[in-house]
Structure 1
Amino acid sequence: MSRLSVPNLESNTGPSGQIYAQIKRTIGTVPNTFAAVAAHGPAALKSILAADAVVATGTLTKRDQEVIKLVISAAAGCDYCVAAHNHLASLAGLKPEVLKRIRDGQPTGDTQRDALVGFVRKLAQSSGTVSDEDFAAIKAAGYNDAQLVEISLAFATTVFTNVFNRINDTEIDFPAVA
């Protein structure tokens, strides 16, 4: 059971209720993490959703976006976000065996994806500090300057949800990860 209370999503008509309605129109349901953030900080959730919308309209593929979020979540040990981004990555077309390799830090056989996984993992492990070699490797893999901004923004929003879900012990409402 999550630590923070969440009001009835259907009867809430305040600022949180407006956000719940928007999320339901967009994705059909309100994930537990969004419900809890909006219940106690609707402006915080709005800012995270706005940042995620910026990443979504960028040039990173949906697969890359979810790979980034899955790597960060696995590095942080956030079971909720690992389940969520594993599921969303599978919806973006990544196979279960590839997702397991990503979570376990093993090569997937896709050079560009493996470069992204390695770069993001280094970001997570080093609090964002990367060497000249790390920078050269991600650039050599084909990621451009604008995509490095998108990677950074996806990283930042995921760290927020990782930390929040660890504080809240958010009840997982995505398929379990084996």
Structure 2
Amino acid sequence: MTFAGHTIETAPEQAKPLIAGVRRKLGFVPEPVARMAESPELLGAFLDNAAVFDRTTLSPVEREVVIMTLATRVRCHYCVAMHSSILDKRSASADLIDGLREGRPLADVRLEALRRFTKAVIETGGDTDTAAFLAAGFTRRNALEVVLGIGAYTMSTFANRLTGAPLDAQFEEHRWDGYQTGRSATG
């Protein structure tokens, strides 16, 4: 099944303002958004849920840890590249970014507890012990915010894979083709 990338002109009517909003915010329309526009309901739900996740009490870097843990687990090449770029712009260390991309333990004890908890929630469907997560200084509220992040970004990771969304040039520097050493497919 082939999915086309929509523009504001070609998108279903309900998706046009959503695409326009993304373009205003990012300066371009990422290919996953262009392809999710085929279903204005999916695109709207993802954008709304991502915005709600952004308002949680998890810090911006902590939210990226949740997203990157999910993205590598479900092998969403686009999500890993895009969120590596976001972490780069937030001045995250190369060690943190590479650790998330490679699925290896993180040096930061708190972020590692978050990565492990997120991975466990994904793998067990939420039947997860919270003791280590709480001991790292997170709260029960944070545990539920992790579930929110997983839910929001599962929509986009699955849609990106289903639609075959190619990587936009803006994220090429952070291309990811699976677990590997370094931040590029070649290095």
Query: Which of 132, 140, 145 is the equivalent residue of 1:137?
Result: 132
Corresponding letter in the other structure for 2:54: A
Does the 8 Å CA contact 2:99/2:105 hold for their aligned counterparts? yes
Deviations 1:48-103 (A, max 9, x none): 11111111112111111111100111011111111111111222221222211122
Does the 8 Å CA contact 1:68/1:117 hold for their aligned counterparts? yes
Corresponding letter in the other structure for 1:149: L
Aligned to 1:93: 91
Q: How does 1:144-155 map to 2 (within 5 A)?
A: 144-155=139-150
Aligned to 2:3: 4
Shift of the 3–11 alpha-carbon distance from structure 1 to 2, 3 Å rule, reads closer
Percent of aligned pairs with the same residue? 24
Shift of the 12–4 alpha-carbon distance from structure 1 to 2, 3 Å rule, reads closer
Shift of the 136–41 alpha-carbon distance from structure 1 to 2, 3 Å rule, reads same
What is the RMSD computed on CA atoms of the aligned residues? Answer: 1.9
Does the 8 Å CA contact 1:63/1:93 hold for their aligned counterparts? no
Aligned to 1:28: 27
Aligned to 1:74: 72
Q: CA deviation at 1:42?
A: 1.0
Corresponding letter in the other structure for 1:34: V
Structure 2 stretches of 5 or more lacking a match?
Answer: 177-183
Higher RCO structure, 1 or 2 (CA under 8 Å, sep 6+): 1
Corresponding letter in the other structure for 1:59: T
Q: CA deviation at 1:140?
A: 0.9
Deviates more, 1:118-127 or 1:153-162: 118-127
Query: Which of 113, 116, 119 is the equivalent residue of 1:118?
Result: 116
Aligned to 2:179: none
Distance 1:21 1:45 in 2: 12
Q: CA deviation at 1:116?
A: 0.4
* Pairs aligned (count): 173
SS in 2 for 1:129: coil
Structure 1 stretches of 5 or more lacking a match?
Answer: none
SS in 2 for 1:94: coil
Does the 8 Å CA contact 1:75/1:125 hold for their aligned counterparts? no
Does the 8 Å CA contact 2:50/2:153 hold for their aligned counterparts? no
Aligned to 2:54: 56
Q: CA deviation at 1:114?
A: 0.6
Deviates more, 1:67-76 or 1:139-148: 139-148
